[in-house]
Amino acid sequence: MHLINTLILGAGAVSVASAATTPQYLTLGTLNSNTPSGIKTPAYSTITFPITDSKTKASTTCTLQWDWTKKPTTSWTACKDTAFSVKVSNYKTMTDFKLDLQHQYNTKTGKKCVNPNGTGCTTTLASTTVSKSAVSFQSYCGASGACGAVGKKGLQVAVSSSKTGTQK
């Protein structure tokens, strides 16, 4: 009888383990990065990419733009769908930088939270280092002196934290 109980408990443990939640990802599509060179100001460096949340299936395009003679801002920049935002926290070159990603949405409607600290608002955060090898950047320079890079593959970035409910 003891052996039968052990087998039943063991089978139950397997089904509980297989019912684990699927990890949530923010998926970045093809990244485009460019910077002008030797061009009169104002001229801007840009990073552009599509982003999709694996849980909500929401997607948008994010674009960061800054004066090419300076470093990018380390403040959050809203994407086309303002429920998403992004910031560069460690920019070295147009093919070597760290992206911090955020998606903030209402768990009932899936749309941007009216009050980010309100009940039912979920904030997810993710971070990744973008490098030439990580996205297979292919670099180019044009006749005008502007240079750029296009990623040949996207990135799947695991959500590092997610908070729902009243946040303070």
* Any domain includes 98: yes
* Any domain includes 1: no
Does residue 8 register a pLDDT over 60? Answer: no
* Any domain includes 33: yes
What single-letter DSSP state applies at residue 111?
S
Tens-digit pLDDT profile for residues 49-76: 999 999 999 999 999 999 888 889 899 9
* Any domain includes 151: yes
Query: Are the C-beta atoms of residues 51 and 85 closer than 8 Å to each other?
Result: no
CATH number at residue 64: 2.40.350.20
* Any domain includes 11: no
* Any domain includes 5: no
What is the overall mean pLDDT for the chain? 81
The CA distance from 15 to 8, in Å, is 11
* Any domain includes 6: no
Domain count, the chain: 1
* Any domain includes 106: yes
Selection from 57, 45, 44 nearest residue 83 by Cα: 57
pTM of the model: 0.79
Domain that holds residue 140: 23-164
The answer to whether the bond into 42 is cis (omega within 30° of 0) is: yes
